[in-house]
Chain A
Amino acid sequence: MNLMKTLLASSALTAAATVAFAQEMSNEMTIVSWGGAYQNSQLKAYVEPYVAMHPEVNVVWDESSNEAVAKLRAMNEAGNITWDLVDVVAADAIRLCDEGLAMEYDPDELLAPGDDGSSASDDFGDLIVSDCYIPQIVYSTTFGYRTDMVPEGVDAPSSICDVFDLEKYPGKRALEKRPINNMEWALLCDGVPKDQVYDVLATGEGQDQALAKLDTIKDSVVWWSAGADTPQLLADGEIFMGSTYNGRLYSVIEEQNQPVGMMWDAQVFDLDGWIIPAGLPDDKLARVKDFLKFATDTQRLADQAKYISYGPARASSAPKVPEDMKQHMPTDPANAANTFLYNYTFWADYRDDIDAKFQAWLAQ
Chain B
Amino acid sequence: MSNALNQDAENGPVMAADGTPLKRSLARALRRQKGRALLLIAPLLIFVLVTFIVPIGSMLFRSVENDIVANTLPDTVQRLASWDATSGELPAEGVYEAMYYDLFVAAEAKRHTRLGSRLNYEESGISSLFRQSGRKIDDLAKDATKALESAVPAFKDGETWYALMNAGNDEANSGLLSAMRGRIGRLNDSSASGDMDFAPSALMADILPLTTRSYTEWAVYEATEEGRDPATRDPWELVPLALLQELKTADLSGLTGTRAELLTQAQAVNFDIPPYSEVLADIDPEWGTILPWETIQTHSSKYTAGYFLNAVDAQKTPEGYAWQPEDKQILLKLFGRTLIMSMIITCSCILLGYPVAWLLANLPTAKANLLMILVLLPFWTSLLVRTSAWKVMLQQQGVINDVLVWLGLVDDANRLIMINNQFGTIVAMTHILLPFMILPMYSVMQTVPPSYLRAAKSLGATNWTAFWRVYFPQSIPGIGAGSILVFILSIGYYITPEIVGGTKGVFISNRIAYHISSSLNWGLAAALGSILLAVVLLLYWCYDRIVGIDNVKLG
Question: Could you list which residues of chain A lie within 8 angstroms of chain B, going by C-beta atoms?
Answer: 66-67, 69-70, 73, 95, 97-100, 177, 208, 222-223, 225, 236-238, 345, 348-357, 359-363
Q: Is B75 an interface residue (CB 8 A)?
A: no
Q: Is B153 an interface residue (CB 8 A)?
A: no
For residue B128, CB closer than 8 A to chain A, the reply is: yes
Contact present for A353 and B329 (CB under 8 Å): no
Q: List 28 A-B contacts (CB under 8 A).
A: A67-B517, A70-B517, A95-B117, A97-B113, A98-B116, A98-B117, A98-B131, A99-B113, A99-B114, A100-B111, A225-B498, A236-B395, A238-B396, A345-B131, A348-B131, A349-B120, A349-B126, A352-B121, A352-B124, A352-B519, A353-B124, A355-B519, A356-B328, A357-B328, A360-B328, A362-B503, A363-B334, A363-B503
Report the bound CA distance from A345 to B329 in whole Å: 25
Measured CB to CB, the nearest residue on chain A to B519 is A352
Which residue of B is nearest A98, CB measured? B113
Q: Which residues of A have CB within 8 Å of B251?
A: none
Contact of A69 (CB < 8 Å), options: B113, B511, B520: B520
In chain B, positions 282-306 with a C-beta closer than 8 Å to chain A are none
Residue of B nearest to A71 (CB): B517
Contact residues in B for A360 (Cβ distance below 8 Å): 327-330, 333
Among A97, A348, A361, point to the contact of B128 (Cβ < 8 A). A348
| B520 pairs with A73, CB closer than 8 A | yes
Q: Is the CB of A238 within 8 A of B397?
A: yes
Q: How far is the CB of B313 from chain A (nearest CB, A)?
A: 9
Whole-angstrom distance between the Cβ of A219 and the nearest chain B Cβ: 10
If A66-B517, A99-B520, A359-B511 are given as contacts, then 18 extra A-B residue pairs at C-beta distance below 8 Å, sorted by A number, are: A69-B517, A69-B518, A69-B520, A95-B520, A98-B113, A98-B117, A100-B113, A177-B503, A222-B502, A223-B503, A237-B397, A348-B131, A349-B124, A349-B125, A352-B121, A353-B124, A363-B330, A363-B504
Instruction: Report the number of A-B residue pairs with Cβ-Cβ less than 8 Å.
Output: 85
Contacts of A225 in B (CB 8 A): 498
A70 touches B328 (CB 8 A): no
**Set of chain B residues within 8 Å of A73, measured between Cβ atoms:** 520
Instruction: Give Cα A99–Cα B516 distance, bound, in whole angstroms.
Output: 15
Measured CB to CB, the closest approach of chain B to A260, in angstroms, equals 15
- Interface residues of B, count at CB 8 A: 38
Cross-chain contact A98 with B395 (CB below 8 angstroms): no
Interface residues of chain B, those whose CB is within 8 Å of chain A, are 110-111, 113-114, 116-117, 120-121, 124-128, 131, 324, 327-330, 333-334, 395-397, 420, 498, 502-504, 506, 511, 514, 516-521
Q: Which residues of chain A come closer than 8 Å to B511, judged between CB atoms?
A: 359
Q: Which residue of A lies closest to B516 (CB)?
A: A70
Q: Which of chain A's residues have a CB closer than 8 A to the CB of B498?
A: 225
A236, B397: Cβ atoms closer than 8 Å = yes
**Which residue on B lies nearest to A77, using beta carbons?**
B189
Q: How far is the CA of A359 from the CA of B329 in the complex (A)?
A: 9
CA distance A38 to B126 in the complex (A): 35
Minimum C-beta distance from A145 to chain B (A): 16
Task: Point out the residues of chain B lying under 8 angstroms from A353, CB to CB.
Answer: 124, 328
Q: How far is the CB of A12 from chain B (nearest CB, A)?
A: 30
A208 touches B395 (CB 8 A): no
- A-chain residues with CB within 8 Å of residue B514 when the two chains form the complex: 355
Contacts of B327 in A (CB 8 A): 208, 357, 360-361
Residues of A within 8 A of B395 (CB): 236, 238
Taking CB atoms, residues of chain B closer than 8 Å to A236 are 395, 397
Check if B520 sits within 8 Å of A70, measured CB to CB.
yes
A357 and B329 CA atoms in complex are apart in Å by 8
A351 touches B330 (CB 8 A): no
Q: List chain A residues, Cβ under 8 A from B503.
A: 177, 223, 362-363
Q: Which A residues are in CB contact (< 8 Å) with B516?
A: 70
B128: which A residues are within 8 A, CB to CB? 345, 348-349
C-alpha spacing A361/B327, complex, angstroms: 7
Smallest Cβ-Cβ distance to B121: which chain A residue: A352
Closest approach, in angstroms, between the C-beta of B514 and any C-beta of chain A? 8
Q: Which residues of A contact B126 (CB under 8 A)?
A: 349
A73 to chain B minimum Cβ distance, whole angstroms, is: 7
Return chain B residues, CB-CB under 8 Å to A99.
113-114, 117, 520
- Provide the residues of chain A in CB contact with B521, threshold 8 Å: 352
The residues of A that contact B114 with a CB separation of less than 8 Å are: 98-100
Going nearest first, the 3 A-B pairs with the smallest beta carbon separation are A98-B113, A360-B330, A353-B124
- Closest chain-B Cβ to A24's Cβ sits at a distance in Å of 21
A359 contacts B330, C-beta separation under 8 Å: yes
In the complex formed, the residue of A with least CB distance to B498 is: A225
